[in-house]
Structure 1
Amino acid sequence: MVSNTLDHRQTPVTAPRPQRRPKRPKGLIALVVLVVAFLAASLPPYVTLDPSTSIIPINAQIALHYPILLGHILFGTITLFTVCLQLWPRIRRNRPKIHRISGRTYVFAGMIPTCVLALVVVPMGELNLIGASGATVWASLGLFFTIRGYLAGRARDTREHRRWMIYSFATAMGLATGRVIAVGVPAIPGVPDSPDVFFPLGGFWLGWMVNLAIAYWWLNIKPARARAKAKASRVPA
């Protein structure tokens, strides 16, 4: 007698993989906090439009010195805000239009006019040689990196665009990093406080130098180490 019993085969049910929650960009959150803290400490002396409250010494013999400095500060504020928008990964992935608009704002209403006005205002001011030379080098590098990054983007060279713009962002953030160094380091017990040396050295040199060193490590050394580690893991024991 032939059995007509059906073979009921059940397809194994696999539990759906839990969706990974996107990691919070802790580094960028710290960046936003730094920008907000820097602007909160730096902008109030200029809100009153009173040259006597300026953090940067004003040359009273040149009438345009203070207005040009205000323009530099205004465009610098735009620069720092748009840096945060450019680096935020969720905006870059999910809001490409906002990313493009903020990128163009960063270039043409942020970093370029900030650097140009810095080059104009430095010879007018009364910074000492350390501060004046640091501000000049900072502005020159900022212009170079930003223009190179913009031109690479126009040429659809994504890799070069990313590389040069990261250097540009690092230079821009030197404004905030330098202030932290200039104010924070002398507060450490045992560190000699010399305002004529350490403030211009930290504020106009060390900030962007530290940032560019980190950017270079991020773009070159870190990937090279990751590749070497991956290669070593594939080598049979």
Structure 2
Amino acid sequence: MVDIRPSQSVFRLYQRVVWGFCLVTVTLTAIIVTKILIGHGFLNRNEPLPTELIPGNHRFNNFVLGVHILSAIPPLVIGPWSFVRRLLRTALHRWLGWIYVGMIFISSVTGFALAAANTYGIFARLGFGTLAIVWFSTTYMALITARRRRYREHRDWMIRSYMITLAVVTVRVLPAPEHLTRAEWYPLMTWLCWVPNIILAEIYVRATTFRGRLKARFARGA
């Protein structure tokens, strides 16, 4: 039987390629989303959204949605740099970490409020509501483990947290099936934009060491 397990050197190259691709993707996403929000004029629009926190008060609903999205952008861009080994013991890493955590707390809380008022039904509310809770919880655990200097656990929780943060990207790139209407697709999308992410995060956490190397049972020639 052919051994298809990668070597450590191949896996390290794979990590660098993924990191670079992630950095480019999240930067482009942040620019595009910010441009859309500014062009949309979310503070002044008087149109209904799929979330009615205050029914009929479209300006307020747009404002909360804008805060939710804009506060998600800094963590999206900061995330890849949080895993750069040369920065881990620097003040920059700590300051970026505080910004990352603070913005996610704002975005997850506003996201939960928006989810509770979503007009696409209970399945959509649960999808985005659970996303907000998991995002807040994984980030909170990343903060607590860092404060307690439990850095191995901190690394694992940060991976989980950032993979949830990437829902900002996946929610935009998920292809909507042609045979489904928006009303049928939207509730499914509220789960598909983040559940695969957290599964991949858990697989990566369990397959790698604190320093990001493949564990012996997953690597060839380890």
TM-score range, shorter chain: 0.7 to 0.9
Letter in 2 for 1:85: W
Task: Identify the residue that residue 36 of structure 2 maps to in structure 1.
Answer: 45
Correspondence 1:11-50 to 2 at 5 A: 25-47=16-38, 48-49=41-42, 50=44
| Residue 216 of structure 2 corresponds to residue 227 of structure 1 | yes
Kept after mapping to 1: 8 A contact 2:120/2:186: no
**TM-score with structure 1 length normalisation?**
0.72
The match for 1:216 among 188, 193, 202 is 202
Q: Equivalents in 1 of 2:171, 2:121: separation in Å?
A: 16
The match for 2:192 among 206, 210, 222 is 206
Task: Identify the residue that residue 115 of structure 2 maps to in structure 1.
Answer: 122
Could you report, residue by residue, the CA deviation over 1:140-184 in whole angstroms, capped at 9, with x for unpaired residues? 001111111111111111111111111111111122123212xx3
Query: Cα–Cα, structure 1 residues 70 and 153, in superposed 2: closer, same or farther, change >3 Å?
Result: same
Letter in 2 for 1:213: I
Could you report, residue by residue, the CA deviation over 1:53-106 in whole angstroms, capped at 9, with x for unpaired residues? 78x53535135322111111111111211213213444437xx22111111110
Correspondence 1:170-185 to 2 at 5 A: 170-181=163-174, 184=175
Letter in 1 for 2:182: P
Higher Rg of the two aligned structures:
1
Letter in 2 for 1:205: W
Query: Cα–Cα, structure 1 residues 32 and 128, in superposed 2: closer, same or farther, change >3 Å?
Result: farther
Kept after mapping to 1: 8 A contact 2:120/2:183: no
The match for 1:157 among 132, 138, 150 is 150
Q: Equivalents in 2 of 1:229, 1:106: separation in Å?
A: 31
Deviation at 1:194, TM superposition (A): 2.8
| Residue 75 of structure 2 corresponds to residue 79 of structure 1 | yes
Kept after mapping to 2: 8 A contact 1:153/1:161: yes
**TM-score with structure 2 length normalisation?**
0.77
RMSD in angstroms over aligned alpha carbons? 2.9
Query: Cα–Cα, structure 1 residues 127 and 88, in superposed 2: closer, same or farther, change >3 Å?
Result: farther
Gaps of 5+ in 1: 1-21
Gaps of 5+ in 2: 1-11
Could you report, residue by residue, the CA deviation over 1:8-49 in whole angstroms, capped at 9, with x for unpaired residues? xxxxxxxxxxxxxx9682211211222133334433332123
Using CA pairs under 8 Å that are at least 6 residues apart, name the structure with larger relative contact order, 1 or 2: 2
Count of residues in correspondence between the two structures: 201
Identity %: 20
Kept after mapping to 2: 8 A contact 1:178/1:205: no
